[in-house]
A = this chain, B = another copy of it.
Amino acid sequence: MIIILKKDAPQEKVQELIRQFERQNIKIHESRGVQEYLIGLIGDTSHIDPEDIKSIDIVAQVKRIQEPYKKANRKFHPEDTVVDICGRKIGGGHFQVIAGPCSVESREQMISVAQAVQKSGAGLMRGGAFKPRTSPYAFQGLREEGLELLVEAKKATGMPIVTEIMDASHLPLFEQVDVIQVGARNMQNFELLKALGKVDKPILLKRGLSSTIDEWIMSAEYIMAGGNPNVILCERGIRTFETATRNTLDLSAIPILKQKTHLPVIVDPSHAAGIRSLIEPLSMAAIAVGADGLIIEVHNDPEKALCDGAQSLTPEAFDSTMEKIKKTVAFFGKGMD
């Protein structure tokens, strides 16, 4: 971290600040030019918030040199993390498609969709039991019952299941869940992240609606710092001024994340656009830009879906899109084993 001091900073204040850092075992390199006066902090500064330093009267600007994340940082872990979910691998050249309905609605629905997406080539099954809804009057998901139906579909097909958690206190209900999803609205629910750091299951961490890439990595770092190294990042669109799509899918984030972190990154084209006809082209783009997987909504009867029907594919449409996904993944040199 480099701290640019005000040119007229009184020496006694500068020395007091330096002593404060030294007490935290940080070494200081002082440098005074004609135009600038700065001190460099040498050592572990990950616990220091640059915003705090900025508040000090004699400080003009603060510039972080080292990223504030360690466990998620590719610098300290150059090889790709490969997350293994009951034998299905994501990351490091392994590509997976996660498919299923937005909401779990009934046993028949779950089993029929699970069988269909499995046949088309999906590796994991998704389905929402706990549903975050903007309105308290909207359908909130089947909750415990939904989790049971997911487990039944897993038994019927052998596919691992991915489903969203909304509160740390629900964790005991998630024992048979294979991948626990953290939704966009909970990306900075730090108490939940801490609880998931102690869990022995992969976490699918969606990007918050208005979270920067760095904030997102820091949320992964919360989970990893707690002891859970298996984090899968999921880009699902950010909130911008554009209203033609529900959110703006930030595909540039994929190569940026690949440089900054070793974690696998997947893309959710269904929620990003909120438009059925965009799922296929955005899936192609996600593969081309370097994503390690896709999570796609598939519903046996999208027009009667209790939520988010507009962004669900029918099993037939999914099957046709999967044909293209398989060829494109192969073209770009990844495997879907």
Residue numbers of A with Cβ under 8 A of B are 2, 4, 27, 29, 31, 33-36, 38, 40-42, 46-49, 51-52, 54-57, 60-61, 63, 65-66, 68, 132-140, 166-170, 185-186, 188-194, 209-210, 212-215, 218, 221-222, 225-226, 238-246, 248-256, 259, 272-278, 281-282, 284-290, 302-303, 305-312, 328, 331-332
Contacts and interface: CB of A to CB of B under 8 A. Distances in A.
Given A29-B35, A284-B288, A136 B221 contact: yes
B244 A310 contact: no
A68 to B, nearest CB: 5
Given A135-B49, A166-B190, A167-B168, A243 B212 contact: yes
Which of A215, A250, A251, A282 has the largest count of B CB atoms less than 10 A from its CB?
Answer: A251
A311 B140 CA distance: 39
B244 A253 contact: yes
A190 to B, nearest CB: 5
Copies of the chain in the assembly: 4
Contacts of A213: 242, 244
B191 A167 contact: yes
A311 B55 contact: yes
26 contacts: A46-B135, A52-B305, A52-B308, A55-B276, A55-B308, A68-B137, A134-B218, A135-B221, A136-B190, A136-B225, A166-B189, A167-B167, A167-B191, A185-B190, A209-B210, A210-B210, A210-B241, A240-B241, A240-B248, A242-B253, A245-B252, A249-B251, A281-B289, A284-B332, A287-B288, A331-B331
